[in-house]
Homo-oligomer: A and B are copies of this chain.
Amino acid sequence: MLDLLSNTHTPMLPPINFCSQCGKGVEQKIPQGETLPRAVCPACQTIHYQNPKIVAGCIPERDGKILLCRRAIEPRHGLWTFPAGFMELGESTEEAAARETLEEANARVRIQTLYALFSLPHVDQVYVVYRAILQDLNFGPGEESLEVQLMPIEAIPWDQLAFPVIRETLHRYVEDTRRTQVQVHFGAI
């Protein structure tokens, strides 16, 4: 069973009450040619869509070890994750993963291959995770991290990981490493 709370980075998207374009109160209705109810502005006719968000991240690798961060922010303050965060406008998923790694771990990575694509439909997120090469050893906690460690996979703190999707991704990563075989993983969690 999915533990909703333990998957939640942010609260689910709040309902739309007012038009972000003109400020009038919206109506819930099914626009012509569509099948789902949307928030529609009766004044300016804008249809307000809400869609899942992408969380982009990477597993930074060096000398057989991986870089993990201990969170300095809620939710899951104090628990461990690989660098990952919400993708911004105007960037690619690879750029987003590298930027988050720089922000959270002050670490420079070279993105290598796509490793995992996991949907979290209950929290409207899609995780896109790459394998990456950690470029140098000049890393350290960014504002959102308490500490950052380059650790052997035997040292992964399984009972101190921040989210189920982090655990699932790292679990598969360790399994792949043991098999000396790497595949792309995808599915819903």
Q: Tell me how many chains of this kind the complex includes.
A: 2
Q: Give the complex CA separation of A186 and B131 in angstroms.
A: 13
Q: Is A135 an interface residue (CB 8 A)?
A: no
Give the residues from 2 to 56 in chain A that come closer than 8 angstroms, CB to CB, to chain B. 13-14, 16-25, 33, 35-36, 39, 46, 48-54
Q: Is the CB of A89 within 8 A of B52?
A: yes
Q: Is A175 an interface residue (CB 8 A)?
A: no
CB-CB under 8 A for A86 and B51, given A20-B16, A20-B20: yes
Q: Is the CB of A87 within 8 A of B17?
A: no
Instruction: Please tell me the number of chain A residues within 8 Å of chain B, measured between CB atoms.
Output: 50
Q: Give the complex CA separation of A144 and B188 in angstroms.
A: 28
Interface mask (A77-92 → B, CB under 8 Å = 1, otherwise 0): 0000000001111111
Q: Is the CB of B88 within 8 A of A117?
A: no
Q: Give the complex CA separation of A62 and B73 in angstroms.
A: 49
User: Chain A contact residues: over half helix, strand or loop, or mixed?
Assistant: loop
Q: Is A61 an interface residue (CB 8 A)?
A: no
Q: Is the CB of B117 within 8 A of A52?
A: no
Q: Is the CB of A90 within 8 A of B121?
A: yes
Q: Give the complex CA separation of A33 and B73 in angstroms.
A: 10
Q: Give the complex CA separation of A16 and B48 in angstroms.
A: 11
Q: Is A93 an interface residue (CB 8 A)?
A: yes
CB contacts (< 8 Å) of A92 on chain B: these are: 119, 121, 187-188
Q: Enumerate chain A interface residues (CB-CB to B < 8 A).
A: 13-14, 16-25, 33, 35-36, 39, 46, 48-54, 86-95, 103, 113-114, 117, 119, 121-122, 124, 126, 128, 143-144, 184, 186-188
21 contacts between A and B (CB under 8 A): A16-B20, A17-B22, A17-B23, A18-B19, A18-B21, A18-B23, A20-B20, A33-B143, A49-B86, A51-B53, A51-B89, A54-B126, A90-B121, A92-B121, A92-B188, A94-B119, A95-B121, A113-B186, A114-B117, A117-B117, A184-B184
